[in-house]
Amino acid sequence: MKRSQREELKSKFIEALDLPKDVVLDLPRVTVTGKVGVLIESHRGIVEYVPEKVTVNTSIGLLVIKGDGLFIKYVLADEIFIEGRVKYIEFDE
Amino acid sequence: MLFIKLWNCLRGYVIIKIVGQYAERLINQAAFSGLYLWDIRRIEENTLLAKVSVRGFFKLHFLARKTKCRIYIMQKRGLYFALNRLRRRKILLLGVVFFIAAIYLLSSIVWKVEVNTQSEELKDTILKDLEQWGLKPGIFKHNLDKQYFLDKILLNYKNVSWAEIEIRGSRVIVEVVERKMPPDLEEDDPCHIVAAKDGIIEEVLPLKGEAVVKPGDTVSKGDVLISGSVSLAGGDSGEKKLLVRAKGIVKARVWYMESVEVPLVETVKRYTGRVKKAYKIRFGNKELYFQLGKVNFSSYEEEELKARNIISSMFDSVSLNPILYREVKEEKQFLGVEGASQEANRRLAEKLKILSGEVQIVQKKVEFTLDMEKQVVVGTLTLEVIEDIGIEKKIE
């Protein structure tokens, strides 16, 4: 309970100051390019990779990308770029 | 991204196969340790294909052991490997080097000499002469002394007013502009014979026209000696004149005076034969100066040799200038009055040679005086000659 209160306070504080949330709260930033590419910034590693499904760990849980013929265009310490035919993007709690 | 890709293409990269159950973990660890992996595809269960740089591969190999994955190299790509493969093919490499050398050598030879001018006749003669002087197909264009050939052309052809040598590729193009010589006086043009120099008339021999002067007359430069306008005798009209082209020989006594100064003590410069070379590299208008060792000559003369273009004549701005230092020894020679007089005499004789063309020397007087103040011997030569002083001048 205490933790969520603190979290809420932090969130309000940031909102009041109008700071970019992704930077301050370490939230992932997901950029989707049509149906062909997904760029995930500030990730925490790949959990699973098969051509139909890519699961990426982030600070707010798992990010699941489903589609056909997916492949990882490149991987860097804070950036993943996935290409292929993208169908679903969902956050798993 | 493009830059990284290009860099990897240059440095070389490998396509690897990662076999293992926890291949994702290997990828994560690689990414967090700063490796760059790209084009990761799953081709089978437990098998991934990926691309990684050469240096990254060795790090990855180390990480793979920890995550119990196996890595196999599928393909090596990039310039690095291409060169590596080439290194084994020595003959091919030799061929490439030989080819480049041959191209360079062949392109530094002059293959054709062209002369551009209006008149065909002049073109042929200049071409023939240039060949004789050494500018012909087959010589190297790098040590072609343009100035030398230009000077030769201008010296030998009086009717050339301007010449330029241009090296274009393997051709040497000589541009020549012909001078229109002032037209010789036509036979019909009326003219006088006038004096070219001051003098006293010794002999007048008019062939055509009317002699205005007689022997013993003093004339100055420009005076009419034989007139081209002849008064016609007889008839009523009296003062009727006929203009002709005067011709004749007018010999006159002319004096020349020359003097030379010879110092009693003469310094003679003599080369000792020891030389030192330095170089100057020129980039555009910047000069970089360097030399090996020091010039430890007490006195020397500096001579800039011809600049050479190192790279090619196209990059005119980059050139190498060798500078030659010649050691000089100065020796003082005491000539004395006697010696100086002899020296003066010798120099006067040289000048005399220049003067005398078709002249008849009547009197020659040489005087030596000693100038104590300046420590010199002054030699004075007075020459009295008889020569033809008449030149043609058109009647306006």
Q: Give the model confidence (pLDDT) of A64-78 as tens digits.
A: 999 999 999 989 888
- Whether A13 is in a domain gets the answer no
Which residue of B5, B22, B35, B41 is the best one to mutate when testing the A interface, meaning the one whose CB has the most A CBs within 10 A? Answer: B41
Range in A15-19, B161-165, B378-382 the model is least confident about:
A15-19
pLDDT confidence bin for B263, thresholds 50/70/90? confident
Contact A72 B32 (CB under 8 A): no
Contact A49 B40 (CB under 8 A): yes
- Whether A12 is in a domain gets the answer no
Q: What's the rounded Cα separation, in Å, for the pair A19 and B272?
A: 85
Q: What's the rounded Cα separation, in Å, for the pair B304 and B321?
A: 7
In the predicted structure, residue B337 carries a pLDDT above the cut 90: no
**What pLDDT, on the 0 to 100 scale, is given for residue B238?**
54
In the predicted structure, residue B334 carries a pLDDT above the cut 80: no
Among B23, B28, B38, whose Cβ lies nearest the Cβ of A74?
Answer: B38
Among A47, A71, A76, whose Cβ lies nearest the Cβ of B36?
Answer: A76
Query: Averaging pLDDT over each range in B117-126, B324-333, B337-346, which range is the top one?
Result: B117-126
- Whether A32 is in a domain gets the answer yes
What's the whole-number average pLDDT of chain B? 81
Name the residue among A32, A27, A91 with its Cα closest to residue A59.
A27
**What pLDDT, on the 0 to 100 scale, is given for residue B234?**
58
| B59 burial via Cβ count (<10 Å: 0-12, 13-18, 19+) | middle
- Read off the DSSP letter of residue B328: E
**What pLDDT, on the 0 to 100 scale, is given for residue A12?**
81
Q: Looking at residue A53, which CATH number applies to its domain? A: 2.60.40.2000
Contact A74 B27 (CB under 8 A): no
Q: Give the model confidence (pLDDT) of B54-81 as tens digits.
A: 888 888 888 888 888 889 999 888 888 8
Q: What's the rounded Cα separation, in Å, for the pair B15 and B48?
A: 10
Q: What's the rounded Cα separation, in Å, for the pair B234 and B238?
A: 7
**What pLDDT, on the 0 to 100 scale, is given for residue A31?**
94
**What pLDDT, on the 0 to 100 scale, is given for residue B114?**
87
pLDDT confidence bin for B212, thresholds 50/70/90? confident
- Whether A20 is in a domain gets the answer no
Q: Give the model confidence (pLDDT) of A33-48 as tens digits.
A: 999 999 999 899 999 9
pLDDT confidence bin for B22, thresholds 50/70/90? confident
Q: What residue spans define the domains of chain B?
A: 2-83, 112-178, 191-250, 258-264+335-389, 268-331
Contact A72 B28 (CB under 8 A): no
pLDDT confidence bin for B391, thresholds 50/70/90? confident
- Whether A9 is in a domain gets the answer no
A66 near A53, Cβ under 8 Å? yes
- Whether A11 is in a domain gets the answer no
Number of domains in chain A: 1
B377 near B337, Cβ under 8 Å? yes
In the predicted structure, residue A18 carries a pLDDT above the cut 90: no
**What pLDDT, on the 0 to 100 scale, is given for residue A52?**
92
Domain enclosing residue A43, as ranges: 26-92
Percent of chain B with pLDDT over 70: 89
Q: What's the rounded Cα separation, in Å, for the pair B277 and B303?
A: 10
Q: What's the rounded Cα separation, in Å, for the pair B319 and B140?
A: 17
Return the residue of A nearest to B51 by Cα: A74
User: Which residues of chain A approach chain B closer than 8 Å at the C-beta?
Assistant: 45-51, 71-77, 80
In the predicted structure, residue B355 carries a pLDDT above the cut 90: no
In the predicted structure, residue B319 carries a pLDDT above the cut 80: no
Contact A49 B34 (CB under 8 A): no
**What pLDDT, on the 0 to 100 scale, is given for residue B344?**
79
**Interface residue B24 vs chain A (CB under 8 A):** yes
Contact B48 A77 (CB under 8 A): no
- Whether A52 is in a domain gets the answer yes
For B294, the token pair is 């020091």
**Interface residue B21 vs chain A (CB under 8 A):** no
B38 near B81, Cβ under 8 Å? no
B102 versus A17: the higher-pLDDT residue is B102
- Whether A40 is in a domain gets the answer yes
Query: Would you say how long chain B is, in residues?
Result: 396
Is domain B112-178 classified as CATH 2.40.110.10?
no
Residue tagged 């040799």 (tokens): B305
The Cα of B29 is separated from the nearest Cα of chain A by a number of Å equal to 8
Is domain B2-83 classified as CATH 3.30.70.260?
yes
Percent of chain B with pLDDT over 90: 6
β-strand pairing of B308-309 with A29-33: unpaired
List CB contacts (< 8 A) between A80 and chain B: 31
Among A47, A50, A71, whose Cβ lies nearest the Cβ of B39?
Answer: A71
Q: How many CA atoms lie within 13 A of B236 on its CB side?
A: 0
In the predicted structure, residue B197 carries a pLDDT above the cut 80: yes
List CB contacts (< 8 A) between A71 and chain B: 39-42
Helix orientation angle between B2-11 and B79-88, rounded to the nearest 10 degrees: 10
